[in-house]
Structure 1
Amino acid sequence: MVLRFRNIPGAAQLIAVLAAWCAFATGAVAETLVERGSYLVNAVMVCDGCHTPRGPAGLDMERHLAGGAIMWDTPAYTVWGSNITPDRDTGIGAWSTEDIKRLLTTGVRPNGVSVAPQMPYGFYKILTPEDAAAIAAYLKSIKPVTHEMPLPVYKAAAYPVPLPGAERSIGDTVPQDPIQRGFYLASLAHCMECHSRKPDGVQDFKNWWGKGGHEMKGPFGSVIVPNISSHKEKGVGAWSDAELKRVLTEGIGRDGRVLKQPMARQRYFSRMTEQDLDAIVAWVRTIPPIE
Structure 2
Amino acid sequence: MKKILKISAIIIAVLLGIILTVVLYVNFAPMPEHTVVPLPIQVSYDSSAVNQGRKIVETVCYTCHKGADERLSGAMFSKPESGLGEIWSANITNHSSLGIGAYRHGELAHMLRTGINRKGRFIGPFMLFPNMSDQDLAAVIAYLRSDSPITRPSDISNPKPSYSLIGKALFKLGVFKPLEIPTSTINAPAPSDTLAYGKYLATSVFACYECHSRSFETNDVLIPENSEGYFAGGNPIEDRNFEIVISANLTPSKEHGIGSWSKDDFKRAIRQGIRPNQELLSDVMPRFSLLSDQEVNAIWTYLESLPASEPNLAAAK
TM bin (shorter chain): 0.7 to 0.9
Determine if the alignment matches structure 1 residue 52 to structure 2 residue 71. Answer: no
Q: Percent identity?
A: 30
In the alignment, the residues of structure 2 paired with residue 289 and residue 169 of structure 1 have an alpha-carbon distance, to the nearest angstrom, of 34
Are the equivalent residues in 2 in contact too, given 1:128–1:174 (CA < 8 A)?
A: no
1:285 aligns to what SS in structure 2?
helix
For structure 1, the 5+ residue unaligned runs are: 1-29, 55-59
Structure 1 residue 109 corresponds to structure 2 residue 125:
no
Amino acid at match of 1:34: V
Give the distance between the partners of 1:258 and 1:289, measured in 2 at CA: 24
| Aligned partner letter, 2:123 | V
Q: Does 1:99 align with 2:101?
A: no
Which of the numbers 233, 253, 258 marks the counterpart of 2:275?
Answer: 253
Structure 1 equivalent of residue 290 of structure 2: 271
Correspondence for 2:187: 172
Q: Are residue 284 (structure 1) and residue 300 (structure 2) matched?
A: no
Alpha-carbon contact 2:132-2:188 (below 8 Å) kept: no
Across the two proteins, how many residue pairs are aligned to each other? 241
Quote how far apart the aligned CAs of 1:112 are. 1.6
2:210 is matched with which residue? 193
Tell me which residue corresponds to 2:91: 83
**Match of residue 144, structure 1, among 153, 157, 168:** 153
Secondary structure in structure 1 of the residue aligned to 2:152: coil
Cα deviation, residue 280, structure 1: 0.9
TM-score (norm 1): 0.74
SS in 2 for 1:272: coil
Question: Which residue does 2:265 correspond to in 1?
Answer: 243
C-alpha change, 1:207 and 1:140, in structure 2 (3 Å) is closer
Task: Report SS of the residue matched to 1:65.
Answer: coil
Unmatched 5+ residue regions in structure 2?
1-45, 220-225, 311-317
Matches of 1:169 and 1:236, distance apart in 2: 36
Report if the CA contact (8 A) 2:273-2:280 is conserved.
yes
2:54 pairs with 1:38: yes
SS at match of 1:70: strand
Alignment of 1:184 onto 2:200: yes
Deviation at 1:88, TM superposition (A): 0.9
Aligned to 1:211: 232
Q: Which amino acid aligns with 2:251?
A: S
Tell me the residue number matched to 1:128: 133
Taking the aligned partners of 2:79 and 2:196, their CA distance within structure 1 comes to 32
1:206 shift after superposition: 4.2
Q: In 2 relative to 1, CA 223–131 (structure 1 residues): closer, same or farther, beyond 3 Å?
A: same
**Cα separation, 2, equivalents of 1:170 and 1:203:** 27
SS of corresponding position for 2:97: coil
Q: Which moved more, 1:145-154 or 1:131-140?
A: 145-154
Residue pair 1:220, 1:260 contacting (<8 A) in 2 also: no
Deviations 1:103-134 (A, max 9, x none): 111111112211131x230xx11111121111
Report what 1:27 is aligned to. Answer: none
Distance across 2 between alignment mates of 1:169 and 1:282: 28
Check 1:207–1:145 CA distance in 2 against 1; reply closer, same or farther (3 A cut). closer
> Shift of residue 153 of structure 1?
4.1
Paired amino acid for 2:142: A
Q: 2:76 aligns with which of 61, 69, 79?
A: 69
CA distance in 2, matches of 1:278, 1:108: 34
More divergent stretch after superposition (248-257 vs 204-213) = 204-213
Separation (CA, whole Å) in 2 of partners of 1:257 and 1:242: 15
Preserved contact between residue 197 and residue 203 of structure 1 (Cα < 8 Å)? yes
- Separation in 2, partners of 1:175, 1:77: 42
Distance in 2 (CA, whole Å) between partners of 1:68 and 1:110 is 21
Q: For 1:241, give the aligned amino acid.
A: K
- 1:79/1:116 contact within 8 Å kept: no
How far, CA to CA, are the matches of 2:199 and 2:187 in structure 1? Answer: 16
* Counterpart mapping for 1:20-31 below 5 A: 31=47
Query: Pairwise CA RMSD of aligned residues?
Result: 2.6
Distance change >3 Å, CA 279–CA 252, structure 1 → 2: same
Matched residue type, 1:49: T
Match of 1:228 in 2: 250
TM-score normalised by the chain length of structure 2: 0.69
Distance 1:94 1:112 in 2: 15
Q: Which runs of 4+ in 1 moved over 6 A?
A: 167-170
